[in-house]
Amino acid sequence: MQIKYILPLLAVAGFLFAAYTVISGNKPVPVAKAVTEPASAPFKSFIAGAGIVEAQSQNIAIGTPLPEIVKTVAVKVGDQVKAGAPLFYLDDRDTRAILAIKIADLAKAKADVSVAKATFSDAKSLSDLAEAVTDRRAISSEELLRRRNAMLIAKARLESAQALVQQAEAGVADTETTLSRLVVRAPVDGEVLQVNIRPGEFAQAGFLNTPLLVLGNLDQLHVRVDIDENDAWRFDKNSKAVAFLRGNRRFKVDLTLAYVEPYVVPKKSLTGDSTERVDTRVLQALYRFDRKQLPVYVGQQMDVFIEAQDYSPSKDSDNRQDAKGSSS
Amino acid sequence: MDLAVRCQNVVKVYDTGEQKVTALNGINLDIAVGELMMLVGPSGCGKTTLISVMAGILDQDDGSCEVFGENLIDMRSRDKLNFRAHNIGFVFQAFNLLPSLNAAENVSVPLIINGMKRVEAERKATSVLEQVGLGERATSLPSQLSGGQQQRVAIARALVHSPRLIVCDEPTSALDHETGHNVMTLLKDVALHKDRTLVIVTHDARIFDFADRIAEMDDGHIIKVKGAR
Amino acid sequence: MYYIALKMLIGDKGKYIGIVMGLTFASLIMTQQPAIFLGLMTRSYSFITDVGLPDIWVMDPKVQFVDDIKPLQDTELYRVRGISGVEWAMPMYKGLLKARLTDGTFQTCIVVGLDDATLTGGPPVMLEGKIDDLRRSDGVIVDIDGARDKLGKPSPVPGGKPIPLKVGDVLELNDLRAIVVGIAKVTRTFQSQPVVYTTYSRAKSYAPKERKLLSFVLVKAKQGQNLVELTRRIRETTGLAAYTQAEFKTLTFEYFMHNTGIPINFGISVLLGFIVGAAIAGQTFYNFTLENLRQFGVLKAMGTSNWTLLRMILLQAVLVGSIGYGLGVGLTALFGYAMRNTILAFKFPWQLLLFSGAGVSLICVFAAIISILKVIRLEPAIVFKG
């Protein structure tokens, strides 16, 4: 085969291969699709915020009045409880032992009363006998005085014994109160959201980072929305708001404002991490929504969009500068 | 008698910068149509310069050179090209065949220059090759041919477009005696006829016999012209 | 006459191949070197290309290029989200973290944290596993090049190739456990560090404790939204920098161009290649004409006009030029094809095809012009000189 044909043929082949490389090598890199489409606001101008779902009653972190070992837990997560229903029992053996002592004390006090009564009636009858003798010579006046005094002493002893019974009764009542405080009861009607104690664990009294038990009323849920303080001025109580469930933007629900907490608080990033960082302050608005529309759980995060007035940065850029300055 | 070439007082000076070499110093020469004129003389006597002027590939500095009644120096270069392409055939000492072209293609070059289609030109070239006795070597490359064959191809090339004047520069000096003789025979028999003039530059004394006339040159002059018509 | 020109060119095989080879070499070096250069430069912003979904990247105004991370406060995400014209905005963490390998060595990795819910901005091509697998606890996705090489387990044979990381293997990122749940194919980065994808919140826990950890906010514009307008609005509203994807690429590219020696070095090498190629090809072609000068003289004597000779030479130049060019770019493409799975950077855009084409044309035209001048000046009388 002659070189004069080979070279041009090779050249054409080379060029075609180069062209192929160019075309195939410059195909745009495939774009990774988001696993789920992110939620997007249905409004033209809006404020976006992260919201966390909570019960309308807010979430009641149940505490214990006495620090004690937990004996039994009477409820489990998800139980509906009436007000006054016992939630968990603390160890009461110690108190019961004290109660037994107190009851025994009471019994002894009562027995002492009987003794005192007997003594009194004895003294009284001796005294009455002596009083009944009309012949002053038959009994000395000294004897008469002695018998009368013995009767009075016995009477006082009886009264004292009776007071001791009262004291013992009060002691029993006190221990019984203590005993009843060892049973923690539901303060309101609601649902048990979280149980963080198990029998045998020590229930600490006082404020706890992890509440022993969380109770809430789930008939109506609220979503607490964090609004960046920089955006707070745009927030309008009367504007519409929508919440999207994270993970599937088809789940959306209209919100109605319940109330706004007027005190701007340091924002905790809502990750549930124990080392939350405070990065800015946020205005918290609470919105009501119909629970039936969403398969939502208390504590879940939602993307919330609140319609806001149209904001033209150029118009009041000076204000923005101030707002930024204060945040940092 | 028609004149093919009429040179009158032709002067050509090569200016190499340092010195001036007078190659032609007042040449007067008439060559008739149908004549085989040989230019002989020692090297550097101006023979090649003279045929270059006659063939229109070199302009003289003085005097006039008319070829078939046309004064070449007065022509525009485009016309001169055309004139050369149609009227002049060349045969060179070194054959000057294009080494990449085969014999037929080499021969067809003047026709193609004159605007003939390649296929037609090659057909005609092959027939001319047959005339010079190389019909069966039409597709050979020059390197596959012997010297004599190459020169015959060159002659065919000089003939193919039927020029009226063929200039030959030492056509035989690169060839041995017998081949040279054959080439000359060919030139005389095939190339020369009543309408065609041959001017052959040579110093090969063995071929002087083929000439109608011989002009002897030396130092830019024509010393004498032997033979007559 | 063109036929004669072609015959003249091709007839002399040695010289013909010589010229073609010279031009092939020139076009090869003019294509391959810039291709490597471009490949390297594309890598500087390959990360942006890979994360193709967002239209706009929002970041700290002082960010100079994609690896220059200056984190933002988390709330900036919501401020960006609140700008009209934004379809969605997602957080992204990007940072360099040390991974501890099974043999105890440390390897710096690019850790990318994707939005937990949507996993926006994930790797473009998954070879094993799914992006969703990131939702598994401690899950990370590792890029294939990193898995094969830098993050691989040590070879049982000393000096051998490392055993590639597989799905299910465990890494240690900042003393925290990370389980490989997927292998992805990503475009290599400039420093060729392994890329580890995980969720945003997990990336935050891997990252050293800092007040701010949000590297970028990825923004998708609403349908029909003017991107330039939107970036301007984001800039003015938040005071952050917002770039469209193309702008961010340009920013990164420019940074590397102005702040590293790479462009100069490669520029010189390309220029040298061009000069050497031009010299070789031009010289061979000119030599070819010189050696054929006698033939051109014969043609001229026989009545060929300068114009025709010029066209003949141009034809020859065009022919050898295109053959050399075709072979050169073909070889370059072959080179790129052979190197496609190696660490070598290589990118062959159509502009480069034009560039080397123009380069080869320039060489040919230049060589042809010199040759033509020589032929035009040629006295046909030389044909009579022995």
In angstroms, the CA A19 to CA A29 distance is: 18
A41, pLDDT greater than 80: no
- State the sign of the Cα–Cα–Cα–Cα dihedral C216, A313, A266, C62: positive
pLDDT tier, A325 (very low <50, low <70, confident <90, very high otherwise): very low
Residue B61's pLDDT is 87
Task: Output A58 or A61, whichever has higher pLDDT.
Answer: A61
Phi-psi region of A320 (alpha: psi -120 to 50; beta: other; left: phi over 0): alpha
Residue A103's pLDDT is 92
A170, pLDDT greater than 90: yes
Q: Number of helices and strands (H, E) in chain C?
A: 12, 10
Among the partner-chain residues C1, C7, C302, the one whose CB lies closest to the CB of B84 is: C302
Quick: pLDDT tens for C111-153: 998 888 788 888 878 888 888 888 877 888 998 888 888 888 7
B101, pLDDT greater than 50: yes
Contact (CB, 8 A) for B153 and B97: yes
Cβ-Cβ pairs closer than 8 A, A with C, add up to: 188
In angstroms, the CA A189 to CA A80 distance is: 8
Range scoring the smallest mean pLDDT among A21-25, C250-254, C255-259: A21-25
> How many CB atoms are located within 10 Å of the residue C292 CB?
25
For the segment A112-141, the average pLDDT, to the nearest whole number, is: 85
Record: contact B57-C11, CB cut-off 8 A: no
A14 touches chain C (CB under 8 A): yes
pLDDT tier, A34 (very low <50, low <70, confident <90, very high otherwise): low
In angstroms, the CA A264 to CA A230 distance is: 11
Mark out chain C residues that contact chain B at CB-CB < 8 A. Answer: 1, 3-4, 7-12, 294-295, 298-305, 308, 379-381, 383-386
Domain coordinates of chain C in residue numbers? Answer: 2-43+261-384, 73-239
Quick: pLDDT tens for C58-83: 999 888 888 888 888 877 888 888 88
Contact (CB, 8 A) for C317 and C278: no
- What does pLDDT average to over chain A? 81
Quick: pLDDT tens for A190-217: 888 889 888 998 988 888 888 888 888 7
Give 3-state DSSP helix, strand, coil % of chain C, rounded to 5.
55, 20, 30
Residue A279's pLDDT is 58
Residue type, A98: I
C16 to chain B: which residues are within 8 Å by CB?
none
Phi-psi region of B157 (alpha: psi -120 to 50; beta: other; left: phi over 0): alpha
∠ Cα A43 A45 A49 (to 5°): 85
Q: How far is B205 from chain C (nearest CA, A)?
A: 19
A41 touches chain C (CB under 8 A): yes
Residue B228's pLDDT is 59
Cβ-Cβ pairs closer than 8 A, B with C, add up to: 85
**CATH code that applies to domain B3-226:** 3.40.50.300
A318, pLDDT greater than 50: no
- What does pLDDT average to over chain B? 85
In angstroms, the CA A53 to CA A245 distance is: 10
In angstroms, the CA C139 to CA C129 distance is: 11
Residue showing tokens 């054929």: C292
* Closest among A130, A195, A119, A186 to A157, alpha carbons compared: A119
pLDDT tier, A15 (very low <50, low <70, confident <90, very high otherwise): confident
Quick: pLDDT tens for A236-255: 888 888 888 877 778 888 88
Disruptive mutation site among B51, B78, B93, B113 for chain C (greatest number of C CBs within 10 Å)? B113
DSSP string, A139-166: S-HHHHHHHHHHHHHHHHHHHHHHHHHH
Residue C386's pLDDT is 53
Residue A28's pLDDT is 66
Quick: pLDDT tens for B47-100: 888 888 888 888 888 888 888 888 888 888 888 888 888 888 888 888 888 888
Residue A101's pLDDT is 92
In angstroms, the CA C360 to CA C354 distance is: 10
* Closest among B140, B76, B85, B149 to B113, alpha carbons compared: B85
Residue A271's pLDDT is 46
Contact (CB, 8 A) for A303 and A243: yes
- Name A284's Cβ contacts closer than 8 Å, sequence gap at least 6: A224, A225, A226, A227, A260, A261, A265
Find how far residue A262's CA is from the centre of its chain. 22
pLDDT tier, B20 (very low <50, low <70, confident <90, very high otherwise): confident
Q: How far is C325 from chain B (nearest CA, A)?
A: 24
Contact (CB, 8 A) for C196 and C207: no
C5 to chain B: which residues are within 8 Å by CB?
none
* Closest among B220, B85, B222 to B165, alpha carbons compared: B85
pLDDT tier, A129 (very low <50, low <70, confident <90, very high otherwise): confident
Q: What residues does A184 pair with on adjacent strands?
A: A88
Q: Write b or e for each residue in C119-138: b if 16 or more Cβ atoms lie within 10 A of its Cβ, otherwise e.
A: bbbbbbebebbebebbeeeb
In angstroms, the CA A302 to CA A244 distance is: 6
A323 touches chain C (CB under 8 A): no
In angstroms, the CA B29 to CA C356 distance is: 60
Residue A321's pLDDT is 43
Contact (CB, 8 A) for A138 and A130: no
Residue A313's pLDDT is 53
C370, pLDDT greater than 60: yes
Q: Which residue pairs from C373-379 have beta carbons closer than 8 angstroms and sit at least 24 positions apart in sequence?
A: C374/C286, C374/C289, C374/C290, C374/C293, C375/C289, C375/C293, C375/C296, C375/C300, C375/C306, C375/C309, C375/C310, C375/C313, C376/C306, C376/C309, C376/C310, C378/C293, C378/C296, C378/C297, C378/C300, C379/B57, C379/B58, C379/C297
Among the partner-chain residues C132, C220, C349, the one whose CB lies closest to the CB of A22 is: C349
Among the partner-chain residues C7, C9, C305, the one whose CB lies closest to the CB of B105 is: C7
Q: Which uninterrupted H or E stretch holds A49?
A: strand A46-55
C118 to chain A: which residues are within 8 Å by CB?
34-38, 247
For the segment C313-321, the average pLDDT, to the nearest whole number, is: 87
Q: How far is B227 from chain C (nearest CA, A)?
A: 26
Domain coordinates of chain B in residue numbers? Answer: 3-226
Quick: pLDDT tens for A256-296: 888 888 888 877 654 444 454 555 778 888 898 887 777 88
Q: Which uninterrupted H or E stretch holds A90?
A: strand A86-90
Backbone angles phi, psi at B88, to 5 degrees: -115, 135
Residue type, C260: T
Quick: pLDDT tens for B127-170: 888 888 888 888 888 888 888 888 888 888 888 888 888 888 88
For the segment B176-199, the average pLDDT, to the nearest whole number, is: 85
Record: contact C11-B99, CB cut-off 8 A: yes
pLDDT tier, A156 (very low <50, low <70, confident <90, very high otherwise): very high
Record: contact C302-B110, CB cut-off 8 A: yes
- Name A20's Cβ contacts closer than 8 Å, sequence gap at least 6: C333
DSSP string, C41-100: HHHHTHHHHHS-S-SEEEE-TT--STT----B-THHHHHHHTSTTEEEEEEEEEEEEEEE
Quick: pLDDT tens for C205-237: 888 877 778 889 988 888 888 888 889 988 888
Q: How far is B67 from chain C (nearest CA, A)?
A: 16
In angstroms, the CA C7 to CA C292 distance is: 12
Subunits in contact with chain B (3 or more CB pairs closer than 8 Å): C
In angstroms, the CA A141 to CA A134 distance is: 12
- DSSP character for A230? T
A32, pLDDT greater than 80: no
B86 to chain C: which residues are within 8 Å by CB?
303
Among the partner-chain residues C13, C88, C115, the one whose CB lies closest to the CB of A40 is: C88
Residue A98's pLDDT is 92
Q: What residues does C221 pair with on adjacent strands?
A: C86
Return the residue of B nearest to C295 by Cα: B98
Residue type, A74: A
In angstroms, the CA C293 to CA C371 distance is: 9
Q: Which residue pairs from C262-271 have beta carbons closer than 8 angstroms and sit at least 24 positions apart in sequence?
A: C262/C37, C262/C40, C262/C41, C263/C37, C263/C41, C266/C33, C266/C34, C266/C36, C266/C37, C266/C40, C269/C33, C270/C29, C270/C30, C270/C33, C270/C34, C270/C37
Residue showing tokens 């006039």: B64
B109, two tokens: 């070059």
Record: contact C118-A36, CB cut-off 8 A: yes
For the segment B221-229, the average pLDDT, to the nearest whole number, is: 77
Residue showing tokens 């890979």: C50
Record: contact B112-C4, CB cut-off 8 A: yes
Give me the helix-helix angle, C262-291 and C306-338, nearest 10°: 140
In angstroms, the CA B10 to CA B217 distance is: 13
